[in-house]
């Protein structure tokens, strides 16, 4: 028997009591008491503990709030991606001459149906450029379908890109499935990280690009497909062609127009603008008051090295915002940046070394340290360093070599 039960009250009044706090054996519980009626008469009452305490309700409410914020954020993002063409170009933040030139180039090339190759270091915004190209093209009402060359397992390449016919293999969908090229019908296909595609995939892509048809796995006739081809890479494809790691014929097909996306080091004047843009966006997303960036912090961000470019800057700002105390972000809010993720420390720099070599060496050390700290978990290492996983794999391969 619960010492202070109110079930007798519910029996007497016939009124339910939902979500009330009750002390039971020294602990607070959230309970509900519901009357049981038959033919309009109260014949009993049932009490249930809903939560083990108000803290549990609060935690749940906090969780629901956080999820709601995430949903709002992704809704806005989705709306922005679907949004009109102008909005898309506006998503590329920056006032530097390099960014203004980039936007001009995008606006010029977007309406034409030529293939475009977007080249730039990791994290420079190549995907944003691809989205803007699509949004400013006559194909904007159809889909933009992205395929990541680094993430496609060799065994799945064909069915993923070209789809499969009904009953093509055991376990396959009985109706068959469209591949990415068919999904992009009337729209744009983005072949991201195209430099990472293995030779067999390159050969298959070449056929699609040359002939404008795909053959579903297990299918009989080639199907015509209508897409605008946009490719993106951080690799030097010309060098890869010279080293026979990338097909020359495919290179020609994908790159009638090349758009170069500048790295952050070439447009430092955009750094404060980008930092404030992310502060604003992330403060909204995390429902935090938007702190100010103090001049010393701004100077720090401006002069820091950003091997992971805009993505890395965004991570640094997000970390600062989350751990911020007070209304101003000082350099102390950016401890990792202060440590200089890729800046050569004078003591560590060998005499006469080229700057690029010593930066690469320092970056290697940072990666090795982070790998140790995270026990080899590459996902976490990439997140911690603010670099893409592809870039991490590449650097690890070089470090191991």
Ligand X SMILES: Nc1ncnc2c1ncn2[C@@H]1O[C@H](COP(=O)(O)OP(=O)(O)OP(=O)(O)O)[C@@H](O)[C@H]1O
Task: Point out which residues bind ligand X (CB under 6 A).
Answer: 92-94, 120, 122-128, 234, 274, 310-311, 314, 388
Q: Which residues of 139-150 are buried (b: 16+ CB within 10 A; e: fewer)?
A: bbebbbbbbebb
Backbone angles phi, psi at 28, to 5 degrees: -90, 135
Closest contact distance (angstroms) between CB of 128 and ligand X is 5
Decide whether 132 or 371 has the Cβ nearer to ligand X: 132
Closest contact distance (angstroms) between CB of 88 and ligand X is 11
Decide whether 35 or 125 has the Cβ nearer to ligand X: 125
Decide whether 124 or 201 has the Cβ nearer to ligand X: 124
Closest contact distance (angstroms) between CB of 129 and ligand X is 7
Decide whether 93 or 112 has the Cβ nearer to ligand X: 93
Closest contact distance (angstroms) between CB of 175 and ligand X is 33
Counting other chains too, the contacts that 87-93 makes at CB distance below 8 Å and 24 or more residues apart are: 87/135, 88/131, 88/132, 88/134, 88/135, 88/136, 89/132, 89/135, 89/136, 91/128, 91/131, 91/132, 92/125, 92/128, 92/129, 92/132, 93/270, 93/273, 93/274, 93/277
Strand-pair category, 228-233 with 213-214:
unpaired
How far CA 198 is from CA of 87, 154, 191, 245, 342, in Å, comes to 35, 8, 13, 9, 30
Decide whether 344 or 386 has the Cβ nearer to ligand X: 386
Half-sphere exposure of 161 (CA within 13 A, CB side): 30
Q: Which two tokens stand for residue 115?
A: 């293939």
Helix (H, G, I), strand (E, B) or coil at 24: strand
Decide whether 120 or 163 has the Cβ nearer to ligand X: 120
Closest contact distance (angstroms) between CB of 273 and ligand X is 9
Q: Which residues contact 135 (CB under 8 A, 6 or more apart)?
A: 83, 84, 85, 87, 88, 89, 110
Closest contact distance (angstroms) between CB of 277 and ligand X is 6
Closest contact distance (angstroms) between CB of 114 and ligand X is 20
CB count in 10 Å sphere of residue 66: 12
Closest contact distance (angstroms) between CB of 135 and ligand X is 14
Decide whether 15 or 75 has the Cβ nearer to ligand X: 75
How far CA 109 is from CA of 63, 77, 88, 136, 189, in Å, comes to 45, 25, 15, 9, 16
Position closest to ligand X via CB: 125
Decide whether 259 or 274 has the Cβ nearer to ligand X: 274
């Amino acid at each position: 028997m619960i010492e202070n039960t109110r079930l007798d009250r519910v029996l007497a009044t016939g009124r339910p009591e939902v979500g009330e706090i009750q002390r039971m054996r020294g602990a607070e519980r959230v309970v509900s008491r519901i009357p049981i009626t038959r033919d309009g008469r109260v014949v009993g009452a049932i009490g249930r503990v809903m939560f083990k305490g108000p803290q549990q309700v609060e935690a749940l409410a906090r969780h629901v709030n956080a999820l709601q914020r995430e949903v709002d954020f992704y809704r806005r993002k989705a709306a922005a991606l679907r949004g009109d063409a102008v909005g898309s170009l506006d998503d590329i933040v920056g006032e530097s001459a390099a960014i203004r030139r980039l936007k001009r180039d995008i606006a010029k090339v977007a309406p034409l149906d030529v293939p475009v190759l977007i080249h730039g270091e990791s994290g420079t915004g190549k995907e944003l450029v691809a989205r803007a190209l699509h949004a400013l093209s006559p194909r904007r009402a159809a889909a933009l379908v992205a395929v990541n060359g680094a993430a496609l397992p060799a065994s799945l390449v064909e069915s993923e890109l070209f789809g499969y016919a009904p009953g093509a293999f055991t376990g396959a969908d009985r109706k068959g499935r469209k591949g990415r090229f068919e999904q992009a019908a009337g729209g744009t296909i983005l072949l991201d990280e195209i430099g990472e595609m293995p030779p067999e995939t390159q050969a298959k892509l070449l056929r699609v690009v040359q002939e404008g048809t795909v053959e579903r796995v297990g299918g009989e006739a080639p199907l015509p497909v209508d897409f605008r081809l946009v490719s993106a890479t951080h690799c030097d494809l010309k060098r890869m062609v010279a080293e026979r790691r990338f097909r020359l014929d495919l290179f020609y097909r994908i790159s009638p127009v090349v758009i170069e996306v500048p790295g952050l080091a070439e447009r430092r004047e955009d750094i404060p603008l980008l930092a404030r843009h992310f502060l604003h966006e992330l403060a909204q997303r995390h429902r935090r008051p938007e702190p100010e960036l103090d001049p010393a912090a701004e100077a720090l961000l401006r002069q820091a090295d950003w091997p992971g470019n805009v993505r890395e800057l965004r991570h640094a700002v997000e970390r600062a915002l989350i751990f911020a105390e007070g209304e101003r972000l000082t350099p102390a809010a950016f401890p990792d940046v202060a440590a200089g993720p890729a800046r050569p420390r004078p003591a560590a720099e060998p005499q006469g070394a080229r700057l690029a070599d010593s930066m690469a060496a320092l970056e290697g050390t940072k990666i090795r340290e982070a790998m140790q700290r995270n026990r080899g978990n590459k996902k976490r290492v990439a997140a911690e360093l603010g670099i893409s996983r592809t870039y991490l794999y590449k650097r690890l391969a070089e470090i191991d070599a």
